[in-house]
């Protein structure tokens, strides 16, 4: 019994420390969103996907790529460990938030392609655009991998346990890659 008490005490200390770091991460994320909105609304004139002004269309891109793709993907990663619920509920919340991130990322990519079309600019002409498309594609593949392996009811335990570490490494790598090149 003494060993179990020690393990539970260690788990409690870990969860308490992780919760504090999570709150700090949420706070920094919300501050970044607020600063980006101030920049886009005050200094760049706003954002509007249906505007006649191409600059307002473009402004949707950085906002949704940060809020939708970076911030929401980070929220999904933290939710998997911080949502106090059954494992299946954690998986569904994690996957749902990732789905929101993908949807907002698609709209963000649509905005930049629409901006390029309105300005007669060639698409995918810069290193930033190629790295962004690659990162987003890897993120979508990660989502498909996670859905098919972990939420699909017929996945075997052997494949799930082997795929779990790969999914964590791939997910964190894609997240870091997206942050570095955004």
Give me the domain span that covers residue 17.
Answer: 2-180
CATH of the domain at 35: 1.20.120.1770
Rounded to a whole number of angstroms, the distance between the first and last alpha carbons of the chain is 50
Q: Which residues of 29-43 are buried (b: 16+ CB within 10 A; e: fewer)?
A: beeeeeebeeebeee
pLDDT of 42-90, one tens digit each? 999 999 999 999 999 999 999 999 998 889 988 998 887 788 788 888 8
Joined tokens for residue 30? 């919300």
Q: What angle do CA 177, 77, 5 make, to 5 degrees?
A: 130
User: What is the tally of structural domains in the chain?
Assistant: 1
Tens digit of each residue's pLDDT (9 = 90 or more) over 45-58: 999 999 999 999 99
Question: pTM of the entire structure?
Answer: 0.82
């Amino acid at each position: 019994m003494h060993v179990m008490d020690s393990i539970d005490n260690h788990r409690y200390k870990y969860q308490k420390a992780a919760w504090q770091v999570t709150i700090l991460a949420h706070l920094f994320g919300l501050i970044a969103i607020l600063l980006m909105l101030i920049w886009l609304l005050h200094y760049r004139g706003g954002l509007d996907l249906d505007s006649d002004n191409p600059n307002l269309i473009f402004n949707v891109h950085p906002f949704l790529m940060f809020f939708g793709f970076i911030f929401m993907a980070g929220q999904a990663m933290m939710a998997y460990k911080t949502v106090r619920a059954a494992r299946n509920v954690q998986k569904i919340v994690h996957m749902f938030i990732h789905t929101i991130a993908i949807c907002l990322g698609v709209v963000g990519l649509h905005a930049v392609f629409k901006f390029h079309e309105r300005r007669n600019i060639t698409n995918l002409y810069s290193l930033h655009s190629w790295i962004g498309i690659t990162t987003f594609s890897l993120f979508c593949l990660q989502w498909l991998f996670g859905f098919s392996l972990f939420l699909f009811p017929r996945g075997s335990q052997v494949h799930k346990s082997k795929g779990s570490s790969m999914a964590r490494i791939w997910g964190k790598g894609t997240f870091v890659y997206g942050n570095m090149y955004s």
